[in-house]
Every structure is written in structure tokens, then in C-alpha cells.
Amino acid sequence: MTLHILDVFAGCGGLSFGLRSSGHSIVAAVEKDQWAAETFSVNMPEVEVIRDDIQKLSPSALKSKFGSTVDTVVGGPPCQGFSVSGKRQYGIYKSENRLIYEFIRVVDLLQPKFFVLENVRGFASATIEGRTKALNAILRRLTAKGYKIFHRVLQAAEYGIPQYRSRLFVLGSLDGFAADPFPAEYRESSNRFISIMQAIEDLPPVGSGEGNDGGQPYTDAPKSDYAKLLRERSSLVYNHEAMNHSQRLIQRFAEIPPGGKGYDIGRKTRHQNTVTIYKSNNQRLFEDRPSLCITANWQSSYIHPTLNRNLTVREAARIQSFPDTFIFRGKRALMSSSLLRREGRHAELHISQCHQVGNAVPPLLAMRLGSRLDQLDRKGDVRPNVLVENWMR
């Protein structure tokens, strides 16, 4: 059975794209950021994208527009305030944490058959403004409305995605689930994860400052089934522009071994005044392992496994399982949002391509989840989680 889905906090559309690829219908998406909404619309033009703050959509407007057309609500409320690596560790609670109540409000109002919420692993233990636990708010309020709720942390690498990425998924159903609603783990082979180089090795080998945001031709054949899948129906490579590094920084990158980071070089060599003071920045990825997690601020976090530069948007998108036909809009990266606010440059405060990629649910993981929901909804035999035929349809 096809689910008819409303995606709130939709971002660039990773969750919607994956669910759509598993055969479900995305009725509409709500996303207030201009660039993320443009990316969503370019890649799923048939979907109505409402560019507005979900808090400004009245109950009457939501009910009249979606009350009879939506049977599933999905979304990923802003997660930075719930991350254990963010300001939460210092007792600072972001106001955005309260947006979880907006997700609850929409589900309570529309009473969909299913709901799916995705967030960082820390959501399970995080609080809203230091008081109410975020997960408990979902469980308590929506269980009282009749939902049977399951939640689990899924590791993306276990589902055929070349990245160590743990995220919490909360699934609810008014009718309950006949079986475990989460997809079985899937790997390329029985004992090996997909590595980062299996994901990106066939992309044009651009150096610092090379490449471009527009289309450029492939220079090599796909090196793996994963790369072949993501290249399906694509004739050009988009969003593959490398950051322009100084020669000094390129030389520092050349000194960093797999698994090493710029912070270590600063402590162990004479170049202490030329490297980052941030312990998580400029880590060299292992070429034979999955990537570390592509977060919202990944653009300065990782060094290419074999080249002396940071990753491109397309490489990060491959790691996140976006197909090459999926094109990102807006600027590649932005300076600090706090700096833009201090300088009064509020018109520039949009979600960059880098943030769009990092904030997204990996589409391939969303597709496997959507396929599983379809299997349960049809109450048929549970099929293996294989790549479905309508990927990128």
C-alpha cells in the first residue's frame, strides 16, 4: 500500500527522497529555509513545498489542507541542540529543542496512520530546556493518543551506507505493527562494510580549488556496485568543487596519516602556529573503511583519504547515499552564522549545501525503512531488504 506522506522539517529532502524511492507518495513538505527548499523542489518537482515556519501554520490550515490527504507524517526536528557533542554538554539548551512539540502537534492534529521521527542518538537522553526529556515527550503524548511506538538507534553502515552514522528513529502506528517495524541489517557482503573509496573513487580527482558546482564529465567508470547505483541515469557530476586551500595548509595535510588529524600535527611538530586548535577538524579518513559521520559542519572536519584537501559536496553526498542526479542548490558553504548575525547580514543566513547534506537522512536508509513499512502494511511475507527497482524513479 502506498503511504501518503507529509514531511515537516524537510530540509533538502533526504528522508522524502528515500521514502519516495520505496514506492510511497510525498504529498507535501514544510521547510522554512530558502536554499534547502529549492534543493527539495529541484529534485522532487511534483511535491508541494511549503516554504514557511511550521510554527506559523495554524491548526485550521493544516487540518483543511492535509486532514484527508495524509496518512503518514515524517520529519527530523533540528538536532544540534540534542547532540552530546554540542552545547548541551555545557548545560546550554537551544530554543530549537522545543520544535519537537511542533512535530507532536502536527501528528496529534492530523492523526496519521503512521509517523516517523529521526534525530541524533543523543535525542534519547536529551532534555528540552533542561527539564522534559525529548523522547519521553513523544512517548507520553502520542501513546496517550493511541499510538503504538517503537524506537531504535540505527547504524547507517549496517544498512549498506559507507558511513558510521548512528541515528535514532521513532516509529508510531495507530494500528500497531505485526512485526518488528525496523528493516533488517543489510551489507554489501556478509562481513564487510562499504568503504569510503568504494563510494567516491570514480569521481573526478579534483585538487584544491579545482572542480565546479555545475556539471562536469565523469573521468572513470564506477568502481563498485554502490557507485554504479548512485551513478544510474546520471551523465554529469554536480556539486564537485574542492575548497581552495593555501599551499601551507596543503603541506600540513600531506603530513597527516590515515586516522590522524591537524590537531595532532600541531602538538607533535614545529608547525604549532599553522594548524587547527579544534580537535575534531581535518581528520584524514581511512580509504578502506566507512567514513566518519557526515555532520552539519563536516566541510572542515575531514581530509580526503588520498588527496590533500577536504571533501567536496558531491563526495559527502555519495557518503550520505544521495544519487548523482540529486543536485544541491544555494552556496557551497557559509561563514559562521554568529558572525553573519553580528554584522547584520541576516539575508545571508540560509542552509548551505554542506549543511543540507550533513543534516539529511541518508536516502538509501530511508528507502530501506520505507520498504519495510510497505511490507508490514501489506501484511505479506517479509522480503529481504534489497535495492528496489524504482530507486531514483
Encode pLDDT of 360-374 as tens digits. 999 999 999 999 998
| pLDDT of res. 273 | 46
Q: How far is CA 94 from CA 98, 206, 239, in A?
A: 8, 38, 31
C-alpha closest to that of 364 among 119, 71, 74, 154: 154
Cross-strand bridge partners of residue 303: 284, 310
User: What pLDDT, on a 0 to 100 scale, did the predictor assign at position 94?
Assistant: 52
Report the CATH number of the 4-188+361-377 domain. 3.40.50.150
The reported pLDDT for the residue numbered 386 is 37
User: For 289-347, how does the pLDDT look when each residue is reduced to its tens digit (9 = 90+)?
Assistant: 999 999 988 998 999 999 999 999 999 999 999 999 999 999 999 866 666 667 666 66
Which set of grid coordinates corresponds to residue 317? 553526498
Residue ranges matching CATH 3.40.50.150 in the chain:
4-188+361-377
Cβ pair 241, 251 in contact under 8 A:
no
**What's the confidence (pLDDT) of residue 152?**
95
Start-to-end CA span in the chain (Å): 17
Strands 211-212 and 240-241, bridge-based pairing: antiparallel
Active-site pick, 12, 79, 293, 354? 79
Strand 302-303 to 283-284 pairing:
parallel
Q: How far apart are CA 87 and CA 129, in angstroms?
A: 12
Residue range 196-359 forms a domain whose CATH class is alpha beta
Beta-bridge partners for 48: 28
Name the CA radius of gyration of the chain, rounded. 21
Residues of the chain with pLDDT under 50: 81-93, 271, 273-275, 277, 379-393
Helix (H, G, I), strand (E, B) or coil at 221: coil
Whether 293 is a known active-site residue: answer no
Q: Where in the chain is the domain with CATH 3.90.120?
A: 196-359
Per-residue confidence (pLDDT) for residue 129, from 0 to 100: 63
